[in-house]
Chain A
Amino acid sequence: MAYFRVVFLSLIVVIFSLTDPAESLAGYDYIDINSPFLRKIPIAVPLFKAKAESVNDAHMQMSLKASDMLSGMLDFTGYFKMLNRQSFLEDPSKAETTLLNIDFHNWTAVGAELLVTGEFQIRGDVFEIELRLFDTIKSSRLIGKKYTTGVNDLRGVMRLFSGEIVFYLTGNRGVFDSRIAFVSNGTGSKEIYTCEFDGVNIRPFTRNNAITLFPAWSSDGQWIAYTSYLKGNPDLYVKNVKDGSVSVVANKGINITPAWVPGKFELAATFSYSGDQDIYLLTGTGKVIKKLTNERGSDVSPSWSPDGKKMAFVSSRSGMPQIYVLDIESSHAERLTFSGRYNTQPSWSPKGDKIAYSGMNGGRHNIYLIGLDGKDPVQLTRNGGDNESPSWSPDGSLIVFSSTREGPSRIYVMTSYGTDQRRLFAISGEQTNPKWSPSGLNYK
């Protein structure tokens, strides 16, 4: 390999990029993420091969674990049709891994258009793996990477390579370096937890022993704002994700529903100390910059447009909760939703063209998508309990939400077209208020 490039990351010790110059042209034409009629690309991920003189149980386990992990992450995106290893013509554990040796006919014959191969070594605590993506129809290698890391950071490597694959095919980094915050009452009181993009590695974020609600990530992913009854009253907290430092806004009345301004250390939240429930613009530490809404009635649940010039929110000013869009500069608010009598929880898409929200119809909440013209909302969930709290993945391809379709409220993910709806995990208690983080979180 003539073009080795060495990159040092804190997470993965070394990455060699096994890249030919011709490969650096990304193939965005593989997947058009803007197409609502997305065809899933059939992809084969045979078991990764152990590079060892004698392959032992540890190798076999690692092989299965690593290849399944990568399969799972790719499957999660909704872009791929994962081919069953049972159907492969080649022995999945012995399949060739490099361009020169692969017989691509064996892969096109089983319907694969893409193929991922891996070859790894375990040296003590060090895990080394070469991962490659091939176009089986063109018989060409699209990506080749070599990672060296600790044996315990398999997920870190698989997240990185999944990100490479999705970036190559779509031009977008995907969701692999994002997390999801949510509320769970498993301990007896509602607390905030975070997990990886696919629901793995759930960690407590608050231990307040008090009702804690409405997590909101800052756009650099360094802060989560939320409401908690820690001191008895629903106050607003802004907590640093890394060092845990906290500022509190404890006005009389409610201090709820924070939403960060994109790219700034500023946020909007609802306060009621003036006697009316209005949305205020605050500094990251909670000092009021200005009042954003003025009309009589409840104004809650702000959600910013990606350029920070507009803000969607819920208002009862018409006598029932409906979604409005406020133009920040002119302070002019326009009603966006007109169908149904209860439309709340707006979430502005990262691309900026749509707003997801939950609307009640026939006594049930479902997730809808609406354009900024306010016309023809599209219903994304149906026939299954209450579906609430939509929140977009940072790349705009997925929406996380809560649903009672299986009884207790749990966290689900679907594509932004409403397809591939699945539960992220089942843990004790009920889970609500999911919020997807921005991308680029550097986490272990």
Chain B
Amino acid sequence: MKKKMRIVLALLCVISVFLFTASCSKQTVKADLQDGKDAKPAPVAAAPAPAPAPAPAPVVQKAPVPVGPTVEEVAAREKAAALKTVVNEDVYFDYDSAVLGAAAQDVLKNKSIILGKYSGVSVTIEGHCDERGTNEYNLALGERRAESAKSFLVSLGVNASRLKTISYGEEKPVDAGKDESAWAKNRRAHFATE
């Protein structure tokens, strides 16, 4: 019996944290739009797993609350999943090129739809290169890749102020391999929501 009580308390706790972050993230978003740069975007992805840590001291005993997912929770989950897609799907480029091919454009169109839905979210577009060129030129090339991804999103209606770019050139490969399949993965624009 005591055990069951604990579980209920923990759940209560989780839900309250949830509600708190949901309202909180809206505020963060506002701040984001104002000075886009430094404010962190909503910590959406991180929210669903708070430890059932310190419960608020006096616990009010109420009639058992229905424990299913709330509307807010569902929405937050959807948003997190959508933004995960934005982050996980890289945009790939040809060798020594910042031109967006058909596949790259499709990936960006999908991102623009998601970004259109969650208009409070800002992203950083990272431009990356494979290791084959020299690192000076690749730093420039990486920036052109990030910028061409940004321009395309802007042309699809995403507000430019939500899109920051940075080039890492060949400094941060995802695949350390030294063959075409590794290089192809490294020639990318990667999206980060934080």
Q: Spell out A's residues near B (CB within 8 Å).
A: 190, 211, 213-214, 227, 232-234, 253-254, 256-257, 270, 272, 277, 298, 300-301, 314, 316, 320-321, 342, 344-345, 358, 360, 363, 365, 388-389, 432-433
Query: Are B134 and A277 in contact (CB-based, < 8 A)?
Result: no
The digit string for B139-183, where 1 denotes a CB below 8 A from any CB of A, is 111011000000000000000000001111001000000000000
Residues A270 and B132 in contact, CB atoms below 8 Å apart: no
Told that A256-B140, A277-B140, A300-B139 touch, could you supply 15 new A-B pairs with CB distance under 8 A?
A: A213-B171, A232-B166, A253-B143, A254-B167, A257-B139, A272-B140, A277-B143, A298-B137, A300-B137, A300-B140, A316-B137, A316-B141, A321-B96, A342-B96, A388-B134
- A sample of 23 cross-chain residue pairs with beta-carbon separation below 8 angstroms, ordered by A number, consists of A213-B135, A227-B139, A234-B166, A256-B140, A257-B139, A270-B140, A272-B140, A277-B144, A298-B137, A298-B140, A298-B141, A300-B136, A300-B137, A301-B137, A321-B137, A344-B133, A344-B134, A344-B136, A345-B134, A360-B132, A389-B134, A432-B135, A433-B135
Q: Mark B105-146, 1 if CB is under 8 A from A, else 0.
A: 000000000000000000000000000111111011101100
Please name all residues of chain A whose beta carbon is closer than 8 Å to the beta carbon of B132 when the two chains form the complex: 360, 363
Q: For this complex, into which size category does the number of interface residues on chain B fall?
A: 10 to 19
Asked whether, in the complex, the Cβ of A257 is within 8 Å of the Cβ of B171, the reply is no
Whether A321 pairs with B171 at a CB distance below 8 angstroms is: no
Known: A254-B143, A298-B141, A342-B96. Is A214-B136 also a contact (CB below 8 A)?
yes
A428–B134 Cα distance when bound, in Å, is 21
Inter-chain contact A254/B139, CB cutoff 8 Å: yes
Whether the Cβ atoms of B140 and A358 lie closer than 8 Å is no
Pairwise interchain contact A257-B136, C-beta atoms closer than 8 A:
yes
* Residue in chain A with minimal CB distance to B167: A254
Q: Which residues of A contact B171 (CB under 8 A)?
A: 190, 211, 213
Q: Is the CB of A321 within 8 A of B133?
A: yes
Task: Please measure, in the bound complex, the distance between the C-alpha atom of A344 and the C-alpha atom of B168, giving whole angstroms.
Answer: 18
**Considering residues A213, A298, A358, which has the most beta carbons from chain B within 10 angstroms of its beta carbon?**
A298
Chain A at the B interface: SS class: strand
Whole-angstrom distance between the Cβ of A343 and the nearest chain B Cβ: 10
Cβ contact within 8 Å between A314 and B135: no
Contacts of B139 in A (CB 8 A): 213, 227, 234, 254, 256-257, 300
Question: Could you say which of B96, B135, B143, B168 contacts A272, with CB atoms under 8 Å apart?
Answer: B143
A residues near B167, Cβ cutoff 8 Å: 234, 254
State A367–B43 Cα separation when bound (angstroms). 49
Shortest distance in angstroms between A384's beta carbon and chain B's nearest beta carbon? Answer: 15
Q: From B143, which residue of chain A is reached at the shortest CB distance?
A: A254
Assembly CA distance A69 to B18 (angstroms): 70
CB of A206, distance to nearest CB on chain B (Å)? 15
Top 8 closest pairs, chain A to chain B, by CB: A298-B140, A344-B134, A301-B136, A344-B137, A257-B136, A277-B140, A300-B140, A321-B137
Task: Tell me the bound Cα distance from A388 to B167 in angstroms.
Answer: 21
Q: How far is the CB of A133 from chain B (nearest CB, A)?
A: 42
Residues from chain B with Cβ under 8 Å of A227 in the complex = 139
Q: Is the CB of A298 within 8 A of B133?
A: no
Smallest CB–CB gap between A214 and chain B, Å?
7
A254 to B96, CA, bound (A): 18
Residues of B within 8 A of A320 (CB): 96
- How far does the alpha carbon of A48 sit from the alpha carbon of B136 in the complex, in Å? 47
CA distance A387 to B144 in the complex (A): 25
> Closest B-chain residue to A270, C-beta based?
B140
Q: Which of B96, B140, B144, B167 has the most A CB atoms < 10 Å from its CB?
A: B140
How long is the Cα–Cα vector from A300 to B143 in the complex, in angstroms?
12
Q: How far is the CB of B117 from chain A (nearest CB, A)?
A: 28
Q: Give the residue name and chain of the A residue nearest to B127 (CB).
A: A254
**Min C-beta distance of B21 to chain A, whole Å:** 25
User: Which of B133, B139, B144, B165 counts the most chain A CB atoms within 10 A?
Assistant: B139
Closest to A272 in B: B143
- Interface core residue of B132, B134, B135, B144 (most chain A CB under 10 Å): B134
Q: How far is the CA of A363 from the CA of B140 in the complex (A)?
A: 20
Q: How far is the CB of B86 from chain A (nearest CB, A)?
A: 20
Of all chain B residues, the one with the shortest Cβ separation from A299 is B140
Known: A320-B96, A321-B96. A345 touches B136 (CB 8 A): yes
B147 CB to nearest chain A CB (Å)? 8
In the bound complex, CA of A211 to CA of B165 (Å): 17
A432 to B135, CA, bound (A): 9
Residues of B contacting A301 with CB < 8 Å? 136-137
Minimum C-beta distance from A392 to chain B (A): 17
A314/B166 in contact, CB under 8 A:
no
Most A-side CB within 10 Å, residue of B135, B144, B166, B171 = B135
- Inter-chain CA distance A298–B133, complex, in Å, is 14
Hey, which chain A residues are within 8 Å of B135, CB to CB? 213, 432-433
Kindly state the separation between the CA atoms of A301 and B135 in the bound complex, as whole angstroms: 10
* B186 to A: closest C-beta gap in Å: 15
How many Å lie between the Cα of A78 and that of B93 in the bound state?
A: 45
CA distance A216 to B134 in the complex (A): 16
CB pair A358–B134 under 8 Å, yes or no, is yes
Closest residue on chain A to residue B124 by CB atoms: A232
CA of A389 to CA of B139, assembled, Å: 15
Minimum CB–CB distance for A437 against chain B, Å:
19
Contacts of B133 in A (CB 8 A): 321, 342, 344, 360
